[in-house]
Amino acid sequence: MNAPRRLQARVTALLSAVLLAISGCSNSVDDHLPADIDTRSPITSDPMLVARGEYLAKAGDCAACHDAADHMSLGGGMPINSPFGPIYGSNITPEPVFGIGCYTLKQFSDAIRYGKRRDGKRLYPAMPYPSLANMSDDDVTALYAYLMHGVKPAAKRAPETRLPFPFNQRWGMLIWSLVFGNRKQYEPDPQRSAEWNRGAYLVQGLGHCGACHTPRGPAYNELGYSEKSPRYLTGGVNDNWFAPNLTGDPGSGLGRWSKQDISNFLRTGHGGGAIAFGAMSPVVEDSTQYMTDADLRAIATYLKSLPAENLYGGFSDDAHARVQTARSLGTGEVERQGAGIYLSFCARCHEANGRGQPDKIAALAANPMVISADPTSVMRIVIEGSRSPTTEIGPAPQKMPGFQEQLTSTQIAQVISFIRGAWGNHASPVSDRQVERLRSKIHK
C-alpha cells in the first residue's frame, strides 16, 4: 500500500471512530426489538405473521429494487441509478452467505430503519431507510418473518456497488444519517382520524412515496419526510423520470382528483384520466394493486388532505380553449407548429380533443403530468414510449411507441409545447435543448 492510501485508510478509520463516539449510540436505541430473536425462533415462523409480512413486502414494493436481474425473487442485483453511479439492490433472501439468513431481528431492524448492515457498514440512501424508520416494531417483525420463512433462499451474490471516491466511503453515510436522516417511528396525530393516520403511516413509511415524489437536496437528501415540510411530495426527479406533485395543487398536482380517482389509479394504474407510466407502472403491478381497499382509501384520504404546494400551471375547461385548439389542428397555424405533428402522430390514439380513450389511452387535456413544472417525464415518454401496467382487475395493458427515430428534438419540443398549451392546459413550452439534453442522458 502506498503512502497516500495508508494515510487515507488511517483518516477513514479515525473519522469512523470519532463519529461513532459522538453519535453515542448504536442505531437502534429507539426501538424495542430483542436482539436474540432470529430465524430459528418460533415467533418468526408463525404462519399468520409470515402472511402479514408478505402483504407488507408487497405494500413496500421490496421486489422493485431487490429482485434479481434474472427475476429470481429478492435475489438482488437490480441496479438503482443514482447521480453518483449505479447502486445494486442486495440479496434479501434467507440465504446465510449471500443473503440475510444470519441476521437477527434486531440487525434486520437496524438495516431497514437506520441504514446499518450486520457487519456495521452503512447503506446508501437509495435504500429508503429514512422512510422505513417510521415502521412499527410489529410490522418490522412481520416483514422479517416473511423474508426468513416465506422466501426461497437464493445462493447468488449481488454485484458489489462501486461508487467513485468520495462516495465509496460508506462511513460517510453515518454523517448523512445524523444530518439528513429520519430516526423516529410514526406517531399518530390525535387530531386526525384513524383512516388518515393509517394513510400517513403507509405514505410516509412503508410506501416510501417521498423517495420519488419529494425533491432532493445536494446531498441526495429528501427535502422533508412528512406533511410538516412544504416540499414534501411536491415532485422529484429520479433516474430521468419526474414523479409528479401529489399535493392539492389543482394544476400539476392532485387537486382535481377525487379520493376514488387515487384509489383506482393505485389499484389499476388508471385514474383521473391518467395512466401510470415509467417507474410507477411496476409499482402498480408489483405493489399497490395488491393492497386492501381500506389501505388504498386511507392513502387517498391522506393525500387529499395535503394542501396545495409548489403551485404550477393549470387547466381551464372552457369552450374558447377547445375551439382555439380545434382551429390550430384544422389549419396548422404557423405559430403552433406542434399542432400538425400532433395530428399526424398523436391524435389517432389521444384524440383531437386530447381526451384520450377511457381505460385505454391517457388523456392529455387536464393531465397533471402533462402540466407539471418539470416536463422530463412527458419528454421521455414521447422519446421512448411507455407501457401501462398489467393488473388483475384493470384494463388490458397498452403500449405507446417511442418516437426517437421519427421525430427530431425540435419536433418533439414543438409537439410537447403544443400539448402543454392546448385544450385549456396552461404550462410553459419546452425547448429543443431540453429534449436534446434528456436524450443524451437516457441514451448513455
3-state secondary structure of 243: strand
Q: How far apart are CA 368 and CA 427, in angstroms?
A: 10
Domain membership of residue 15 (yes or no) is no
Give the domain CATH number at 134.
1.10.760
Domain membership of residue 16 (yes or no) is no
| Predicted confidence (pLDDT) per residue in 155-208, tens digit | 988 888 888 887 878 888 888 888 888 888 999 999 999 999 999 999 999 999
Q: How far apart are CA 342 and CA 354, in angstroms?
A: 10
Domain membership of residue 325 as a residue range: 314-442
Domain membership of residue 189 (yes or no) is no
Q: Are residues 48 and 175 in the same domain?
A: yes
Q: Are residues 249 and 346 in the same domain?
A: no
Q: Are residues 159 and 214 in the same domain?
A: no
Cα distance from N-terminal residue to C-terminal residue, the chain: 35
Domain membership of residue 4 (yes or no) is no
Each residue's pLDDT tens digit in the chain (444 positions)?
454 444 444 444 444 444 434 333 344 445 677 767 877 787 788 999 999 999 999 999 999 889 877 778 898 888 888 788 888 889 999 999 999 999 999 999 999 999 999 999 999 888 999 999 999 999 999 999 999 999 999 998 888 888 888 787 888 888 888 888 888 899 999 999 999 999 999 999 999 999 999 999 988 899 999 999 999 999 999 989 999 999 999 999 999 999 999 999 999 999 999 999 988 999 999 999 999 999 999 999 999 999 999 999 998 887 666 667 766 666 655 456 899 999 999 999 999 999 999 989 999 999 999 999 999 999 999 999 999 999 999 999 999 999 999 999 999 999 999 999 999 999 999 999 999 999 999 876
Q: Are residues 224 and 319 in the same domain?
A: no
Q: Are residues 354 and 429 in the same domain?
A: yes
| Predicted confidence (pLDDT) per residue in 30-67, tens digit | 567 776 787 778 778 899 999 999 999 999 999 988 98
For residue 210, what are the contacts with CB-CB under 8 A and spacing of at least 6? 131, 203, 204, 222, 224, 225, 232, 233
Q: Are residues 43 and 176 in the same domain?
A: yes
Q: Are residues 350 and 436 in the same domain?
A: yes
Q: Are residues 213 and 91 in the same domain?
A: no
Q: Are residues 234 and 114 in the same domain?
A: no
DSSP 231: T
Q: Are residues 372 and 436 in the same domain?
A: yes
Domain membership of residue 2 (yes or no) is no
For residue 84, what are the contacts with CB-CB under 8 A and spacing of at least 6? 163, 164, 167, 220
* Per-residue CA distances from 221 to 124, 177, 236 (Å): 11, 9, 11
Q: Are residues 63 and 140 in the same domain?
A: yes
Of 277, 305, 333, which residue sits at a domain end? Answer: 305
Q: Are residues 356 and 404 in the same domain?
A: yes
- The count of structural domains within the chain is 3
Domain membership of residue 401 (yes or no) is yes
Question: What is the model's pTM?
Answer: 0.89
Domain membership of residue 14 (yes or no) is no
Domain membership of residue 219 (yes or no) is yes
